[in-house]
Copies of this chain bind each other. A is one copy, B any other.
Amino acid sequence: MSAYCLATYRSFDEKADFHKKAQGIAVGLTVGSWTELPEAQKASMEKHLGKVVSVDVHEPAAGESLSGRYADITIAYPDVNFSRDIPALLVTVFGKLSMDGKIKLIDLKFSTDFLAGFPGPKFGLQGVRDLLGVHDRPLLMSIFKSVVGYELPALREQFYLQAAGGVDLIKDDEILFENPLTPMEKRIAVCLEAAEQASKETGQKLLYAVNLTGPTSQLAARAKRAISEGANALLFNVLAYGFDVLHELSTDPAINVPIMAHPAMAGATYPSPHYGIAASVLLGKLMRIAGADLVLFPSPYGSVVMPKEENLAIKQVLLTQDLRNDYSYQAEADASLKLATSFPVPSAGIHPGIVPLILRDFGTDVIVNAGGGIHGHPMGTIAGGHAFRQAIDATLQGVHLRDYAQTHPELKAAIDTWGIKE
Given A99-B266, A174-B96, A175-B95, the answer on whether A44 and B149 have CB atoms closer than 8 Å is: yes
Q: Residue A113 at the B interface, CB < 8 A?
A: no
Option from B90, B145, B305 in Cβ contact (under 8 Å) with A265: B90
Tell me whether A94 and B265 are in contact (CB under 8 A): yes
Residues from chain B with a CB closer than 8 A to the CB of A91 are: 174-175, 237, 240, 264-265
Q: How far is the CB of A16 from chain B (nearest CB, A)?
A: 12
Nearest CB of chain B from residue A374's CB, rounded to whole Å:
14
Q: Which of B178, B240, B248 contacts A216 (CB 8 A)?
A: B248
Tell me, rounded to whole Å, the shortest Cβ–Cβ distance linking A263 to chain B. Answer: 7
- Structural contact, A98 and B267, CB atoms closer than 8 A: yes
Q: Does A327 contact B (CB under 8 A)?
A: no
Shortest A246–chain B CB gap in Å is 10
- Binary B-proximity of A246-284 (CB < 8 A = 1, otherwise 0): 011000000000000011111111011011110000000
Contacts A33-B146, A242-B245 given; does A175 touch B237 at CB 8 Å: no
Bound form: Cα–Cα A264–B247 in Å: 20
Digitize A211-238: 1 where CB-to-B-CB distance is under 8 Å, 0 elsewhere. Answer: 0011111001000000000000000010
State whether A242 and B268 are in contact (beta carbons under 8 Å apart), knowing that A30-B148, A175-B92 are contacts in the complex: no
Q: Are B268 and A277 in contact (CB under 8 A)?
A: yes
How distant is the Cα of A33 from the Cα of B402 in the complex, in angstroms?
A: 31
The answer to whether A149 and B48 have CB atoms under 8 Å apart is yes
- Chain B residue at minimal CB-CB distance from A262: B95
A96 in complex: contacting residue of B47, B88, B98, B304, CB < 8 Å: B304
Task: State A249–B9 Cα separation when bound (angstroms).
Answer: 33
Cβ of A253 to closest chain B Cβ, rounded Å: 14
A48 vs B173: C-alpha distance when bound (angstroms):
15
List B contacts of A49 (CB < 8 A): 149
Q: Tell me how far the C-beta of A55 lies from the nearest C-beta in chain B, rounded to whole angstroms.
A: 20
Q: Are A145 and B98 in contact (CB under 8 A)?
A: no
Give the docked Cα–Cα distance between A409 and B163 (Å): 79
Min distance, Cβ A186 to any Cβ of chain B, angstroms: 16
Which residue in B32, B215, B272 is a CB contact (below 8 Å) of A276? B272
Is the CB of A303 closer than 8 A to any CB of chain B?
yes
Which one of A33, A81, A264 has the highest number of Cβ atoms from chain B below 10 Å of its Cβ?
A: A264
Residues of B within 8 A of A103 (CB): 267
Q: How many Å lie between the Cα of A103 and that of B276 in the bound state?
A: 15
Q: CA of A216 to CA of B219 in the docked complex: distance in angstroms?
A: 12
Q: Is A29 an interface residue (CB 8 A)?
A: yes
Q: Mark A132-161, 1 if CB is under 8 A from B, else 0.
A: 000000000000011111000000000000
Q: Is A418 an interface residue (CB 8 A)?
A: no
* A97 sits at the interface (CB 8 A): yes
Q: Are B248 and A105 in contact (CB under 8 A)?
A: no
Question: Which parts of A387-406 form the interface with B (CB within 8 Å)?
Answer: none
A83→B213 contact, CB < 8 A = yes
* CB nearest to A180 among chain B residues: B80
List CB contacts (< 8 Å) of A164-184 with chain B: 174-175, 177-179
Interface 1/0s, chain A 3-22, versus B by CB < 8 A? 00000000000000000000
In the bound complex, do residue A244 and residue B215 qualify as a contact, i.e. CB atoms below 8 Å apart?
yes
Q: A213 to B48, alpha carbons, bound, how many Å?
A: 19
Asked if A116 is at the interface of the complex by the 8 Å CB criterion, the answer is: no
In the complex formed, the residue of B with least CB distance to A27 is: B146
Can you list 16 A-B pairs, Cβ within 8 angstroms, ordered by A? A33-B146, A82-B175, A83-B214, A85-B213, A88-B240, A91-B264, A91-B265, A94-B265, A95-B262, A95-B265, A216-B242, A216-B244, A240-B244, A241-B242, A269-B269, A272-B275
- Beyond A85-B215, A99-B271, 8 extra complex contacts between A and B, CB < 8 Å: A48-B149, A90-B264, A95-B175, A103-B267, A215-B248, A216-B242, A216-B244, A242-B242
